[in-house]
Homo-oligomer: A and B are copies of this chain.
Amino acid sequence: MDYSAMHPQEVKKLIREGKIDFQTSGMCAGYAQANLCILPKDYAFDFLLFCMRNPKPCPILEVGDVGSREFKAMASEGDVCTDFPKYRIWKNGVLEKEVTDISEYWQDDFVYFLIGCSFSFESEMLEADIPVRHIEENVNVPMFNTNIELASAGAFHGNMVVSMRPIPNDLVVKAVEVTAAMPKVHGAPIQIGNPEAIGILDVNHPDYGDSVTINEGEVPVFWPCGVTPQNAVMQTKPPIAITHAPGHMFITDVKNVALKY
């Protein structure tokens, strides 16, 4: 199946039917994808402020009303409980299980947060003839914990998580230009070519997602990643939190161009 040319509503129908429960990179080219964090209202102000103080890893695309499962800005229809291919249930900061539907876990005091995802700008990179290795190799993007400490907000604190794409030397500047124009989906890279500088000791062993080939003449380039809230949930230990599973994103009905400067 070529999911890259499909409309978001077609792919989300397959997700709701359980026919897609795998990672979404490369799907619905030109449409923005989103990360998820769901928290009880008591944690919502601190988390929203945490995101605002750390807009590179946590650019907010939409926040639900208290108790609401509906989308207003980022999709014309849908249900936050069924429209991601895979979710993670967290209790007191510990990952309890992964599920494909969270309807039975929904609480009236839940608030969902949609956060921009770098899968969004990958179709822009491909348009600019910049290779995206994990799409070529049909695996999930490699993601890493870092030593980059974030600004705290109330209960929330933690370090930045990053995604990595190997970029040919002569295309690094172009990759910065293309992605910098899209700050709502993480924007420009945070590090180019020196993983040790941000505490990554082995670029071939990601903390989340899959390893990809780095060819001769390519450098690893690191972008802020929307898995960062999961790191913050582990540190902050709210009684319950629900996130997407890394790489298993919400495909919005909003085109990338609408999120550019």
The verdict on A49 contacting chain B, using a C-beta distance below 8 Å, is yes
Task: Write out the residue numbers on chain B whose beta carbons fall within 8 Å of the beta carbon of A153.
Answer: 65
Cα separation A45 to B41 with both chains bound (whole Å):
9
Main secondary structure of the interface of A (DSSP, over half): mixed
Interface string of A44-76 (1 = CB under 8 A from B): 110011001000000010010110000000000
Instruction: Report if A154 contacts B (CB, 8 A).
Output: yes
Residues of B within 8 A of A48 (CB): 45, 48-49, 52
Indicate whether A105 reaches chain B with its CB closer than 8 angstroms: no
A32 smallest CB distance to B (angstroms): 17
When distances are taken between beta carbons in the complex, the residues of chain B under 8 Å from A111 are 45
Chain B residues near A60: list those with CB within 8 A: 52
Question: A51 to B175, alpha carbons, bound, how many Å?
Answer: 32
* Bound CA span A52–B41, Å: 17
Distance between A53 CB and nearest chain B CB, rounded to angstroms: 8
Residue of B nearest to A43 (CB): B45
**Minimum CB–CB distance for A253 against chain B, Å:** 18
Q: How far is the CB of A67 from chain B (nearest CB, A)?
A: 11
Per the bound structure, the CA–CA distance linking A45 and B44 in Å amounts to: 7
A73 → B minimal CB distance (Å) = 8
Bound form: Cα–Cα A65–B53 in Å: 11
Q: Kindly identify, within residues 72 to 111 of chain A, every residue whose CB is under 8 Å from any CB belonging to chain B.
A: 111
**A58 CB to nearest B CB, Å:** 13
Q: Which residues of B contact A41 (CB under 8 A)?
A: 45
Cross-chain contact B65 with A154 (CB below 8 angstroms): yes
Nearest first, the 9 closest Cβ-Cβ pairs linking A and B are A45-B45, A44-B45, A48-B48, A49-B63, A261-B261, A52-B60, A45-B48, A66-B154, A52-B63
Give 16 CB contacts A-B under 8 Å.
Answer: A41-B45, A44-B45, A45-B45, A45-B48, A45-B111, A48-B48, A48-B49, A48-B52, A49-B63, A52-B52, A52-B60, A52-B63, A65-B153, A65-B154, A66-B154, A261-B261
Residues of A within 8 A of B (CB): 41, 44-45, 48-49, 52, 60, 63, 65-66, 111, 153-154, 261
